[in-house]
């Protein structure tokens, strides 16, 4: 694998640094001076309408960012990913989540294997299973159809399915509910299982490795809950696990060890990263909830965005441009965080999903060649749906001292078109979206504040500087296809940034140390004094506090 090009050594980086040195953003002036600005900086990617015009950039700056992408070889690395080269260097793996949504008549051979036929073979089994559950043909041990599907998984084996299940609520089959257990805090299993009927509950244990402590612990808790509940109901439990548990994993041997019939297991492959896996069999709970046709639409939407990323020139390539703008803000304007603000209640878990996607991918300090990176990497992604965020943290985005680039996302068609008297509530909602991006971009000057008759002493507090960057993303409606497009959009934004920084966006070694230490500490927490005594002073004191206060 080629050595990454140090971005700071490129000519484009030099030009960007020179711009940043005396950069005075002036969105009001730029809009006045260039009537074509919005047209030039608005792009279409599949069904997404993406307005970049309220970013702190002009044509010349965008050209420098595109030149940076050219100099670091973004297009070549994108193509290497799409054709299955082992770009996940530290794990020596291909990175092929895009193959999960290739149409069945495509072909892609990787490491001597036709991945498209493998993908569609598993998809076919997932769809068949989904149909059986949805139609009532799949029954529990007592012959009752499934009413609740509980997905047990964490990280990429949870966040994608739960985010999409929430986002696509209007597509969920009536009478069928999904719940999700992820945290090893026993509260999660206890409260999620509360009120469920074991006879009508089906568990999907989702784990790429099938070795994750949280997931296996929760799976055992659920198995015990199921068997106890069925026994209490006087049901025969001999075939209970086979009828009430299925698994999704790349490690089918471990699935069998757990006691789940391999016939009830759906596989995937090590070239799918956990945080890129919701469109593999990891999405089985979602496929059951929304049905195979809607799931296929989601995959089709992701593929449409993949095709845009693969074919659009970089100067019109939305994921590439958004990733490059993030580099501009992070490395030249010292932004540390990035807000994602969906004006859609249905997307309320989207920021949490993006946190794993972006931060587990790009929170790295060494390049894929093992050298220290030459510049800051990663941003803290965060957000909440509008308008809730407006009444909580927007103050800091409008008037604080920190630069917080923000993505606003909204849909023309409401999922629930409600009226308040004569007022279409969705219109009120969207007016807030448009108003916020307007206020952030153009602000309010002291003279404008004074013109409202404001007491002079209060004028400074009521001034809005403006020049706070936003990207506006709109689509006709939040359909499965559009959700797929949004997910793939952010996957490729993340990829673009990782390529500029020269990092392996597909490993996650940073999660390992804590896991190892937790395992080593468990005996101390349980009372092993020798293990406790070998810990640092703070940890010893914390364990002692726990031991004293636990009844």
Q: Is 243 tagged catalytic?
A: no
- Residue 437 and residue 443: Cα distance in Å, rounded? 10
β-strands 245-249, 201-206 pairing: parallel
Which residue number, 277 or 470, has a Cβ lying nearer to ligand F6P? 277
End-to-end Cα, the chain, rounded Å:
56
Exactly one of 12, 154, 272, 321 binds ligand F6P (CB under 6 A); that residue is: 154
Active-site residue identified among 214, 360, 384, 491: 360
State whether residue 296 is helix, strand or coil. helix
Exactly one of 155, 291, 301, 405 binds ligand F6P (CB under 6 A); that residue is: 155
Per CB under 6 A, which region of 2-10, 174-182, 206-214, 413-421 contacts ligand F6P?
Answer: 206-214
Q: Give 458's DSSP letter.
A: G
**φ and ψ at residue 407, rounded to 5 degrees:** -105, 125
Q: How far is the CB of 212 from ligand F6P (least distance, A)?
A: 3
Q: How far is the CB of 300 from ligand F6P (least distance, A)?
A: 24
- Residue 439 and residue 118: Cα distance in Å, rounded? 50
Q: Is 54 tagged catalytic?
A: no
Is the Cβ–Cβ distance between 38 and 441 less than 8 Å? no
Per CB under 6 A, which region of 95-103, 204-212, 284-292, 484-492 contacts ligand F6P?
Answer: 204-212
Cis amide linkage into residue 18, ω under 30° from 0: no
- Residue 349 and residue 351: Cα distance in Å, rounded? 6
Nearest CA among 301, 310, 209 for reference residue 250: 209
- Residue 284 and residue 306: Cα distance in Å, rounded? 22
Q: How far is the CB of 242 from ligand F6P (least distance, A)?
A: 22
Exactly one of 212, 285, 377, 471 binds ligand F6P (CB under 6 A); that residue is: 212
Which residue number, 68 or 205, has a Cβ lying nearer to ligand F6P? 205
Is the Cβ–Cβ distance between 247 and 204 less than 8 Å? yes
Q: How far is the CB of 295 from ligand F6P (least distance, A)?
A: 19
Q: Is 391 tagged catalytic?
A: yes
Residue 283 as a binder of ligand F6P (CB under 6 A): the answer is no
Site string for ligand F6P, 344-363 (x = CB under 6 A): ----------------x---
Q: How far is the CB of 235 from ligand F6P (least distance, A)?
A: 30
Q: How far is the CB of 211 from ligand F6P (least distance, A)?
A: 7
Which residue number, 274 or 469, has a Cβ lying nearer to ligand F6P? 274
Nearest CA among 303, 255, 281, 339 for reference residue 161: 281
Residue 156 as a binder of ligand F6P (CB under 6 A): the answer is yes
Beta bridge partners of 444: 464
Residue 157 as a binder of ligand F6P (CB under 6 A): the answer is yes
- Residue 260 and residue 242: Cα distance in Å, rounded? 6
Which residue number, 171 or 506, has a Cβ lying nearer to ligand F6P? 506
Residue 330 as a binder of ligand F6P (CB under 6 A): the answer is no
Per CB under 6 A, which region of 4-12, 207-215, 394-402, 429-437 contacts ligand F6P?
Answer: 207-215
β-strands 470-475, 406-411 pairing: parallel
Active-site residue identified among 391, 456, 530, 549: 391
Residue 412 CB partners (closer than 8 Å, separation 6+): 474, 475, 476, 477
Which residue number, 207 or 470, has a Cβ lying nearer to ligand F6P? 207
Residue 494 CB partners (closer than 8 Å, separation 6+): 323, 357, 358, 361, 362, 505
Which residue number, 180 or 408, has a Cβ lying nearer to ligand F6P? 180
- Residue 439 and residue 447: Cα distance in Å, rounded? 16
Beta bridge partners of 406: 339, 470
Angle, helices 480-501/59-72, rounded to nearest 10 degrees = 70
Q: How far is the CB of 240 from ligand F6P (least distance, A)?
A: 23
Exactly one of 84, 198, 274, 283 binds ligand F6P (CB under 6 A); that residue is: 274
Nearest CA among 101, 79, 108 for reference residue 314: 79
Q: Give 7's DSSP letter.
A: G
Please identify which residue in the block is written with the tokens 């809607």.
Answer: 294
Q: How far is the CB of 322 from ligand F6P (least distance, A)?
A: 23
Which residue number, 10 or 151, has a Cβ lying nearer to ligand F6P? 151
Q: Give 172's DSSP letter.
A: S
Residue 215 as a binder of ligand F6P (CB under 6 A): the answer is yes
Neighbour count for residue 422 (Cβ, 10 Å):
5
Per CB under 6 A, which region of 86-94, 201-209, 347-355, 385-393 contacts ligand F6P?
Answer: 201-209
Q: How far is the CB of 330 from ligand F6P (least distance, A)?
A: 23
Per CB under 6 A, which region of 42-50, 148-156, 162-170, 457-465 contacts ligand F6P?
Answer: 148-156
Which residue number, 165 or 433, has a Cβ lying nearer to ligand F6P? 165
Active-site residue identified among 40, 336, 419, 515: 515
Exactly one of 209, 375, 399, 535 binds ligand F6P (CB under 6 A); that residue is: 209
Exactly one of 208, 244, 364, 492 binds ligand F6P (CB under 6 A); that residue is: 208
Which residue number, 329 or 506, has a Cβ lying nearer to ligand F6P? 506
Per CB under 6 A, which region of 155-163, 290-298, 329-337, 381-389 contacts ligand F6P?
Answer: 155-163
β-strands 113-114, 109-110 pairing: antiparallel
* Number of residues engaging ligand F6P in binding (CB under 6 A): 14
Is the Cβ–Cβ distance between 264 and 245 less than 8 Å? yes
Please compute, for residue 107, the number of CA atoms within 13 A of its CA located in the half-sphere on the CB side.
4
Q: Which of residues 368-407 bind ligand F6P (CB under 6 A)?
A: none
Is the Cβ–Cβ distance between 308 and 317 less than 8 Å? yes
Please identify which residue in the block is written with the tokens 């015990």.
Answer: 224
Is the Cβ–Cβ distance between 322 and 497 less than 8 Å? no
Site string for ligand F6P, 496-515 (x = CB under 6 A): ------------x--x----
Q: Contact residues for ligand F6P (CB under 6 A)? A: 154-157, 207-209, 212, 215, 274-275, 360, 508, 511
Which residue numbers are catalytic?
360, 391, 515
């Amino acid at each position: 694998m080629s050595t990454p090009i140090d971005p700071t050594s490129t000519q484009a980086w030099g030009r960007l640094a020179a711009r940043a040195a005396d950069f005075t953003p002036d969105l009001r002036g730029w809009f006045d001076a260039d009537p074509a600005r919005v047209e030039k900086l608005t792009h279409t990617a599949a069904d997404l309408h993406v307005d970049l015009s309220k970013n702190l950039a002009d044509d010349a700056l965008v050209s420098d960012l595109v030149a940076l992408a050219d100099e670091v070889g973004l297009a070549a690395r994108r193509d290497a990913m799409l054709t299955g080269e082992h770009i996940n260097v530290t794990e020596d793996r291909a990175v092929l989540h895009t193959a999960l949504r290739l149409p069945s008549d495509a072909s892609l051979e990787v490491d001597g294997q036709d991945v498209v036929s493998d993908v569609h073979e598993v998809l076919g089994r997932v769809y068949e299973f989904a149909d059986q559950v949805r139609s009532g043909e799949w029954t529990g041990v007592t012959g009752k159809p499934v009413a609740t599907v509980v997905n047990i998984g964490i990280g990429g084996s949870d966040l994608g399915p739960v985010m999409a299940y929430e986002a696509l609520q209007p597509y969920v089959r009536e009478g069928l509910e999904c719940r999700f257990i992820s945290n090893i805090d026993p509260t999660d299993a206890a409260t999620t299982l509360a009120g469920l009927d074991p006879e009508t509950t089906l568990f999907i244990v989702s784990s790429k490795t099938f070795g994750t402590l949280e997931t296996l612990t929760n799976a055992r808790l659920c198995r015990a809950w199921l068997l106890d509940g069925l026994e209490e109901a006087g049901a025969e439990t001999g075939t209970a696990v086979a009828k009430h548990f299925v698994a999704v994993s790349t490690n089918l041997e471990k699935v069998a060890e757990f006691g789940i019939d391999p016939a009830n297991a759906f596989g995937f492959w090590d070239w799918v990263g956990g945080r890129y896996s919701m469109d593999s069999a990891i999405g089985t709970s979602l496929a059951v909830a929304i049905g195979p046709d809607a799931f296929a639409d989601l995959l089709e939407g992701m593929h449409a965005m993949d095709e845009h990323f693969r074919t659009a020139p970089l100067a019109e390539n939305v994921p590439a441009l958004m990733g490059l703008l993030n580099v501009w803000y992070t490395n030249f304007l010292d932004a540390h965080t990035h807000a994602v603000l969906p004006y859609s209640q249905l997307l309320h878990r989207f920021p949490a999903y993006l946190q794993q996607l972006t931060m587990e991918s790009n929170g790295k300090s060494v390049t894929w060649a093992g050298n220290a990176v030459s510049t800051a990497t990663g941003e803290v992604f965060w957000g909440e749906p509008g308008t809730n965020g407006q009444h909580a943290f927007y103050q800091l985005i409008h008037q604080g001292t920190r630069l917080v680039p923000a993505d606003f996302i909204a849909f023309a068609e409401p999922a629930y078109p409600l009226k308040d008297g004569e007022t279409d509530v969705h219109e009120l909602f969207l007016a807030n979206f448009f108003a916020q991006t307007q206020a952030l971009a153009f602000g309010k000057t002291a003279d404008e504040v004074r013109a409202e008759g404001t007491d002079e002493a209060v004028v400074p507090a009521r001034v809005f500087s403006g020049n706070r960057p936003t990207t506006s993303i709109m689509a006709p409606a939040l359909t499965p296809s559009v959700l797929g497009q949004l997910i793939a959009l952010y996957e490729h934004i993340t990829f673009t940034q990782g390529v500029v920084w020269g990092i392996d966006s597909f490993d996650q070694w940073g999660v390992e140390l804590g896991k190892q230490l937790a395992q080593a500490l468990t005996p101390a927490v349980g009372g092993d004094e020798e293990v406790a005594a070998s810990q640092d002073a703070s940890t010893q004191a914390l364990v002692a506090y726990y031991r004293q206060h636990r009844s």
